[in-house]
Each structure stands twice: as C-alpha cells, then as structure tokens.
Structure 1
Amino acid sequence: MKCQICGKTTQYGNSVSHSKRHTKRRWLPNVHRTTMVIDGRKTKVNICT
C-alpha cells in the first residue's frame, strides 16, 4: 500500500526479541481509501493518517 499524497510505503526491518534474536518483519502505513474533492471533482484516494 502507498499513500498518494506523501508516498509513504511499507518499511522493512527486524523484530528484536529480549534475547536479541532478529526476525524479519514489516511495518505497514496506516492507509485509508477516502473520497476527496480535487480540482472540483470527487476522487477516491489512498491517504495515510
């Protein structure tokens, strides 16, 4: 998912446990599909909050 306003996308990294083990994970942006008025027209866009 990608924000159409700022371009924020999924970030990747590691979860680090208390014992310092690293496992892959991803962080998703809080993207919502909403209706906005752009140039006098209603359009559906994906934006992050």
Structure 2
Amino acid sequence: MGKECSICGKKRQVGNNVSHSNIKTKRTFGANLQRMRVQLPNGEVSREMVCTTCLRSGRVVKPAARSAE
C-alpha cells in the first residue's frame, strides 16, 4: 500500500534542502494524504489513502452515512 494516493497515484517527490551557503542535501516532499472511507465503482466501501487534490476535485465518491445499529 504505502504512502500513495489510491485514486491518482500521487506519491512522494525528491528534492533538495538548500542552505544559506548553497549546500544541497536530499529531502522528500510527501503528498497530503488522508485516510478516507471511499465508495468504489462496484458499490463496495473501503478505507483508502486519498490526496486532498482528489478530494477537492470530486474524484472521490463518499459513501452514505453509516446506519446507527
């Protein structure tokens, strides 16, 4: 599974920390992932890691509220 959006596949990117003296060291930029209940196209409901871009754009279908049992 890992830290990857299950809708668009967005994952961490690699870049540089740049100091005042311009020394560069490697660093990672993580995707803004949230663990959400998602309704899949076949009607199943499961928990998925979804990036906030997919949430904002409406690519994620949220299921109806759980019934009180």
TM-score normalized by the length of structure 1 = 0.85
Matched, 1:44 2:36: no
Residue in 2 that maps onto 1:21: 23
Instruction: Give the percent of matched residue pairs that are identical in Structure 1 and Structure 2.
Output: 41
**Runs of 4+ off more than 3 Å:** none
RMSD after superposition: 1.0
1:1-49 deviation digits (Å, cap 9, x = unpaired): 1001110011111111121010111011011111012232211111011
TM-score normalized by the length of structure 2 = 0.64
- Could you say which structure has the higher helix fraction? 2
Unaligned runs of 5+ in 1: none
